[in-house]
Amino acid sequence: MTPKTKVCSRCKLEKSLDDFYRQKDGKFGRRSECKKCILEKSYIYYENNKEYCLEKSRKYYSENRNHHKELTYNWRYKNTNTMPMHKATYSSDYLGIYIAEQILSKVFKNVTRMPNNNPGYDFICSNGYKIDVKSRCLTPRKNRSSVWRFCTRYNKIADYFLCLAFDNRSDLNIKHLWLIKNDELRQSKSDITITESKIDKWKEFEQPIDKVIACMKEII
């Protein structure tokens, strides 16, 4: 039978086996120095070799950055069920671009998609109009009607905003699409806030969504 305690080779104290890290070929399957001593030793080493240690961990981290990200994502997905945006192919932002492509090519001629993170707009069409795509899920508000709030206030570059309204992050059903000319907003100086109960106010900008829903089914 394995005893429940062991004497640490460094501090010479008798400690419970739980106070020693596991090591297959160690005495009683544990390392010879206790956890506390190992920590202390590595701390002293770190203090005396700070620059070297920092450089080493920086190097290790940068060489293994993707692996680290992967681990974090996997953990997060497993534990919280949320996906990082670039992997969430069913997320509203990701879908937004694809849906936008479909819709815009029906409204404008020859729509060209800009590279990711292009400042101010996502698409440009043959007549030179710059179009920024905004996608939002419905945000519930306490004692008030829910809203879609599209952050458009600081965008002076885009000629049009294509606003895609989804119901929520988990279902991602598209509810409305508005194509709003930036000029129409210039006076208001605020973001586009569309209240669910006052949706008729935006009717003139609304685009048909039946074709969009069909193309969404292909994407998901």
CB-based contact 146:82 (threshold 8 Å): no
- Smallest gap, in angstroms, from Cβ of residue 21 to Zn ion? 11
* Window contacting Zn ion (CB under 5 A); options: 1-9, 99-107, 147-155, 180-188: 1-9
Q: Which residue number, 8 or 100, has a Cβ lying nearer to Zn ion?
A: 8
Closer CB to Zn ion, 10 or 76, in the complex = 10
C-beta closer to Zn ion: residue 7 or 151: 7
Choice between 12 and 142, CB closer to Zn ion: 12
- Minimum gap (Å) between residue 18 Cβ and Zn ion: 13
Least distance from Zn ion to the Cβ atom of residue 27, Å: 14
Letters for 9-48 (x = contact with Zn ion by CB under 5 A, - = none) are: -xx----------------------x--x-----------
Q: CA 121 to CA 182: how far, in whole Å?
A: 12
Indicate the residue among 37 and 104 with the shorter CB distance to Zn ion: 37
| 71 phi, psi to nearest 5 deg | -60, -45
Find the Cα–Cα–Cα–Cα dihedral 123, 125, 129, 133, rounded to 10°: -30
Give min distance, CB of 37 to Zn ion, in A: 3
Nearest by Cα to 120 from 132, 128, 108: 132
Q: Could you tell me the smallest distance in angstroms from the CB atom of residue 80 to Zn ion?
A: 38
Instruction: Compute the C-alpha angle 189/190/195, nearest 5°.
Output: 140
Using CB under 5 A as the binding criterion, the count of chain residues that bind Zn ion stands at 5
> How far is it between the farthest Cα atoms of the chain?
84
Residue 8 vs 137, nearer CB to Zn ion: 8
Q: Which of 6, 8, 125, 138 binds Zn ion (CB under 5 A)?
A: 8
Q: How far is the CB of 23 from Zn ion (least distance, A)?
A: 15
User: Which positions touch Zn ion (CB under 5 A)?
Assistant: 8, 10-11, 34, 37
